[in-house]
Structure formats: structure tokens, C-alpha cells
Amino acid sequence: MAAAAETGPRRVGFVGAGRMAEAIAQGLIRAGKVEAQYVLASAPTDRNLCHFRALGCRTTHSNHEVLQSCSLVIFATKPHVLPAVLAEVAPVVTTEHILVSVAAGVPLSTMEELLPPGARVLRVSPNLPCVVQEGAMVLARGRHAGNSEAELLQTLLEACGQCEEVPEAQVDTHTGLSGSGVAFVCAFSEALAEGAIKMGMPSGLAYRIAAQTLLGTAKMLLQKGQHPAQLRTDVCTPGGTTIYGLHALEQGGLRAAAMSAVEAATRRAKEMRKWRG
């Protein structure tokens, strides 16, 4: 592989310009990690590229141009499209490139098979709250990506939320816990609000308070480093309202249902990986 030419400020490329790509780009730019003028995004049509232009980024319809202009390239295509895209750009991949996939279900081994020997590849599993820079992300590195590549990517992605390195085997679990978990939490938030609506609270107010309750609780858990059981105990007083409510949740099987939901989503992620691999 020939060396790619990149001098001056770091340039970040996006192959695929959907909502997740836009969220990551927005986080990088807002946090000052990368200047908008040094971000280049490609997509087959202008439908999503307009969002990148609104951020001040450059756009193109050529995937090759992204690889030729940027050493750090994030592939944010649909999972079933990624193998064909990797095969397309393989001839212009160089020893200087760091190639990152956010496509679910496409393993590092598949990426390495489709790219030149020694290509430095990593996988990132993001979730939708990256849109508001509160994402929960994990990354896994390929055989030829070292500490410097992983640390660089982690530092950049922390502009979009929390990012931790894990073995690739845990990426599917993250998908079930955090990727799909956004929907699980929304279902719970909706149910909390509907309980208040049933008791006479206006719906708009109920939904706002439910969302704020989730936000505040999450911040306390993260900032204090507490186990959820400890915070639950702090809220629960003998004979009080909370223990009565918790009893009702236990009768409804909340814990078992939540555990089963994460298990089912994780198993599905593994099935999709095998199918695509």
C-alpha cells in the first residue's frame, strides 16, 4: 500500500451521510476536535449531504475522493452495503489510513478480508443519543490497529458521549443493551408518563417530567459512580410510596422483561452478524 498524503490539520472523512454520520460529525465539530472545513462526506445522492453542508463540511459523490483526502475515514453505510463499498475503495487504501465502521453486524474479520493486508480497521457501536452528544459507544480494534489508533478514535468520539474499548465479542451485547436499549428506555418513559396521565396529570407535563426523571437519574448514576441498587435504596423509605410502586413493578415482571429484551436483541445482533459474515 502506498502512503496517503495528508499534511496540516486532521481531516476526517465519512463514507455514508446518514443520521449517525451527521451526529458524529456534529459532535466532533462542536467539541472543536475537527474543523468543519476539514470534514468530507460522500453519499450517492444529495439527500443527506445537505445536512453536512449546513454544518460547513465539504461533500462529494465519490468514495474514492474521501479516501484520497482523509486519513481517518468513518464508514457509516447500511450494513448490507458496507462489503461492496470496502471492495470499491480497497485500491486506494494506504498504510496511513485508519478505517472505522459504524455498521452493525459486519465483523472486523470481514473488513480485513476485503481490504489490503495490514489495513488498520476498527469497529464502533454507537447509539442514537450521539445526536445530542450523549451517546454510549464501544469500539473494538482489528489485528493491525494499535493503541495509538484506538486512543485517537476514543478521544475523538468522546465528543459524542461516552466511548469505551471492548473485545469485539461484546459489541453485539452493546447493540442489545444500548443500541436497542434506547427504544426500551423510551417504552419505560412512556409507561411512566401514562401512569401519571391516568392519575390526572396533563400529558405534555407528564412526558416532560418522565424524561427529566430518567435524565437526572442517569446523571446521578454516572457522576457518583453508584450501583443502581444503592440509589434505589436511597429513594426507598419504609412504608413509603416508592416501595409500594416497586412491589407493583416486581409483580409485573419488570426486571425479567428487561433482561429478556436485552438478551433477545443481543441474540438477534449475533444472528445478523453470522448472516452477513
Residue 147 marked in a binding site: no
Residue 76 marked in a binding site: yes
Residue 217 marked in a binding site: no
Residue 90 marked in a binding site: no
DSSP characters over the chain: -PPP---SS--EEEES-SHHHHHHHHHHHHTTSS-GGGEEEE-SSSTTHHHHHHTT-EEES-HHHHHHH-SEEEE-S-TTTHHHHHHHHGGG--TT-EEEE--TT--HHHHHHHS-TT-EEEEEE--GGGGGT-EEEEEEE-TT--HHHHHHHHHHHGGGEEEEE--GGGHHHHIIIIITHHHHHHHHHHHHHHHHHHTT--HHHHHHHHHHHHHHHHHHHHHH---HHHHHHHH--TTSHHHHHHHHHHHTTHHHHHHHHHHHHHHHHHHHHHHH-
Residue 78 marked in a binding site: yes
Numbered residues of the known binding site for NADP(+): 76-79
Numbered residues of the known binding site: 63, 76-79
Numbered residues of the known binding site for NADPH: 63
